[in-house]
Amino acid sequence: MAKFDQELLYRIDGLQLSDRLARFRERFFEEKPGVTSERITLAMESWKETEGEPIAIRSAKKLKKIAENISVVIHPGELLVGSPTRYFRGANPYCDFDGSYLEALMAEDRITLGGPVEAGAITPEDWQALLEAVKFFRGKTWTEQARATYRAVVGSWYDDAIDAGAIFRHDIWPQFVDYLNFGKVFAIGLRGVINETEGLIQQL
């Protein structure tokens, strides 16, 4: 059983938000979340352009294309800026890593965010682009390859246990978790991180 610092929890509950943060919180709950296809469209374009190249190079070029072409969004009142979507509350489906979950949602003609209740707003253009991306990446993602390998080794018992509700599927995102080292960024800045990375590249 995890132990929590009750005093710290009480202090957090007692914090008073500034006017700026209070407005952010109010806006967060007022706005309907939106789903965009911008990132996955760029990923798909890159994947088509790099067909036949080494997988590590393809992944690097995909990241480069996204970083250089994704819309830059700055919302009013932000001190730390940068958003993965054009929405204040938004989602960018990563069907280049695993599209099976998205395909199942889209089959029901709606996309839910964070649970089965809250549906995300999506334009017809984004919907069509997501459909195209799901079809394009079907059978090409590392998650599907991992599952196929897993089934080849252990058979169907894992899927049977999931279907029976005995265990929760955990093989979808195990290697796709972003651990952001904010302390390091705040200490040396993004330029410091870039310089450190360039130094490591020179060492190689």
Q: Which two tokens stand for residue 160?
A: 């049977």
* CB-count burial class (<10 Å; 0-12, 13-18, 19+) for 117: exposed
Q: Please tell me the pTM assigned to this model.
A: 0.69
Assess contact for 83 and 75: CB atoms under 8 A.
yes
Say if 110 falls within a structural domain.
yes
Say if 73 falls within a structural domain.
yes
Number of domains in the chain: 1
Say if 176 falls within a structural domain.
no
Assess contact for 169 and 162: CB atoms under 8 A.
yes
- Domain containing 87 equals 28-137
Say if 65 falls within a structural domain.
yes
Say if 85 falls within a structural domain.
yes
- In a structure prediction context, what are the per-residue pLDDT tens digits for the chain, which is 204 residues long? 456 788 888 888 888 889 998 998 899 888 888 889 999 999 999 999 999 999 889 999 999 999 999 998 898 888 888 788 888 888 888 888 887 777 776 766 666 665 555 567 888 899 899 989 988 998 888 888 877 887 787 777 767 777 776 655 555 444 444 556 778 888 999 899 999 999 999 998
Residue found by looking up tokens 């246990």 in the block: 161
